[in-house]
């Protein structure tokens, strides 16, 4: 696990640089086991920084989320670099954002965190409910060790790990300026067995399955907003002229929303799982995204977010591209 003192030391050096305006990392949350994003603008703030298996957020999202209102007359934009801490999965979002020219490589200082997996916070809180005072989670071998309210509990990692971590192909960041720890060997293979059941369903069964899930959707757009790859300046969802998607919440519009989003992420989703994590009504959005991911990999031998030298899948054409799925 990352040495917390080293992490703060590196962060201090980075934020002290004149060409860095902001460092995005993690700090303890407001209660229980939670950790949350930290926005560090001065060296004094680095003391609160941590990295633990509770650091679930993909901070790459913030690089494309920042709103830039018109500057006051005469004011110059602050174009200094942003430093960001990324796990292996998160780093793929940076790569893919750069493949799509969201910003230049030079814009970033990447602090890479080789990661042996984060927890599924819902599982942690279900197992240890009602913890208010600050609790800690650390990884020790094959276990998570949780300390809270004067107690220490050891739990096999597999019981609390986030699902995405159990099949992580890229635990070590694929892009970084400063790597905060030794490389983590790939510890799992991804055979997409988790979506085999969905793939095996008939069309009618699939519709029944998703109709139930999508009928719960309240269109809070947390899945869209948290997604590091959902960063269109003018999302079709928000357009009212013309209305691509109605704002009324019903099964038809909800389905159109989720299918549109899944298609827009085909060949772009980097499997960070944030959409499914934040969904307040537990819609298993990653099942959709993973089906697309698997198809893209099989059809085009393409995985997004691996190399900044890559070209976006859907903006390339090769005569060898398969087209047998076109009716």
Partner 1 sequence: MADKILKKDKAAEALKELSKFRLFAPAKSDDVVLFRQIEDPAEACLDYANSTVPPKKVVFPQTETLFRFKLGNPELREKNVEEEGTTVIFGLRPCDARAMSIVDNLFSWDYEDPYYLKRRELTTLVGMACVTPPSVNCFCASVGGEPFGTENLDLLLVDMGEEYLVKVLTDKGGKLAETIGSFMENAPEGAAAKAEELAGAAREALSRSIDTSGIEAKLPALWDSPLWKEVSAACLGCGICTYLCPTCHCFDIQDEVEDAEGRRCRMWDSCMFREYTLHASGHNPRPTRKERTRNRISHKYSYFPGKFGVIACVGCGRCVNLCPVNIDILEILGKVVEA
Site string for partner 1, 267-296 (x = CB under 8 A): -------x--xx-xxx--------------
Angle among Cα 232, 293, 93 to the nearest 5 degrees reads 45
Asked if 308 is part of the footprint of partner 1 (rule: CB under 8 A), the reply reads no
- Select the residue interacting with partner 1 from 18, 69, 191, 327 (CB under 8 A): 69
**Closest CB to partner 1 among 250 and 298?**
250
For partner 1, which stretch binds (CB under 8 A), given 61-69, 168-176, 182-190, 285-293? 61-69
Give φ, ψ of 110 to 5 degrees. -100, 120
Site string for partner 1, 248-267 (x = CB under 8 A): xxx-----------------
Tell which positions 87-146 bind partner 1, by CB under 8 A: 129-132
Contact 289, 275 (CB under 8 A): yes
Contact 213, 283 (CB under 8 A): yes
| CA distances for 317 relative to 37, 303, 314, angstroms | 39, 16, 8
Q: Total binding residues for partner 1 by CB under 8 A?
A: 44
Tell which positions 208-227 bind partner 1, by CB under 8 A: 212, 216, 218-222, 224-226
**Closest CB to partner 1 among 240 and 326?**
240
To the nearest whole angstrom, how small is the minimum distance from the Cβ of residue 34 to partner 1?
5
Asked if 78 is part of the footprint of partner 1 (rule: CB under 8 A), the reply reads no
Asked if 32 is part of the footprint of partner 1 (rule: CB under 8 A), the reply reads yes
For partner 1, which stretch binds (CB under 8 A), given 35-43, 95-103, 109-117, 159-167? 35-43
Distance CA 180, CA 173 (A): 10
To the nearest whole angstrom, how small is the minimum distance from the Cβ of residue 313 to partner 1?
26
- Select the residue interacting with partner 1 from 9, 183, 238, 298 (CB under 8 A): 238
For partner 1, which stretch binds (CB under 8 A), given 13-21, 56-64, 137-145, 307-315? 56-64
Distance CA 39, CA 69 (A): 19
For partner 1, which stretch binds (CB under 8 A), given 7-15, 78-86, 135-143, 236-244? 236-244
Tell which positions 36-55 bind partner 1, by CB under 8 A: 36-37, 39
**Closest CB to partner 1 among 156 and 280?**
280
- Select the residue interacting with partner 1 from 67, 76, 204, 320 (CB under 8 A): 67
Query: Which residue ranges make up the site for partner 1 (CB under 8 A)?
Result: 29-32, 34-37, 39, 57, 61-62, 65, 67, 69-70, 129-132, 212, 216, 218-222, 224-226, 238, 240, 243, 246-250, 274, 277-278, 280-282
């Amino acid at each position: 696990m990352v040495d917390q003192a080293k992490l703060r030391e590196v962060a201090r050096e980075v934020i002290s640089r004149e060409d860095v305006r902001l460092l995005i990392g993690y700090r303890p949350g407001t209660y229980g086991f939670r950790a949350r994003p930290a926005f560090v603008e001065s060296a004094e703030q680095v003391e609160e920084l941590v990295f633990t298996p509770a650091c679930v957020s993909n901070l790459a999202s913030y690089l494309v989320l920042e709103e830039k209102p018109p500057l006051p007359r005469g004011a110059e934009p602050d174009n200094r670099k942003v430093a960001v801490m990324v796990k292996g999965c998160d780093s793929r979002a940076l790569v893919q954002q750069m493949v799509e020219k969201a910003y230049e490589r030079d814009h970033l200082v990447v602090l890479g965190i080789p990661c042996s997996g984060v927890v599924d916070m819902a599982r942690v809180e279900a197992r240890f409910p009602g913890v208010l005072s600050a609790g800690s989670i650390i990884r020790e071998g094959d276990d998570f060790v949780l300390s809270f309210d004067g107690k220490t509990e050891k739990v096999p990692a597999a019981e609390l790990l986030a699902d995405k971590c159990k099949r992580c192909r890229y635990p070590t960041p694929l892009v970084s300026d400063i790597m905060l720890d030794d490389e983590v060997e790939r510890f799992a293979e991804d055979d997409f067995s988790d979506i085999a059941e969905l793939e095996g369903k008939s069309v009618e069964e699939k519709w029944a399955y998703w109709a139930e899930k999508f009928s719960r959707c309240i269109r809070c757009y947390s899945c869209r907003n948290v997604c590091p790859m959902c960063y269109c300046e003018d999302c079709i969802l928000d357009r009212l002229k013309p209305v691509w998607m109605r704002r009324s919440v019903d099964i038809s519009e909800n389905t159109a929303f989720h299918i549109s989003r899944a298609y827009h992420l085909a060949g772009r989703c980097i499997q960070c799982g944030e959409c499914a994590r934040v969904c307040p009504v537990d819609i298993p959005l990653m099942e959709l995204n993973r089906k697309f991911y698997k198809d893209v990999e099989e059809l085009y031998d393409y995985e997004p977010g691996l190399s900044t030298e890559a070209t976006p899948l859907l903006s390339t054409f090769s005569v060898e591209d398969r087209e047998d799925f076109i009716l």
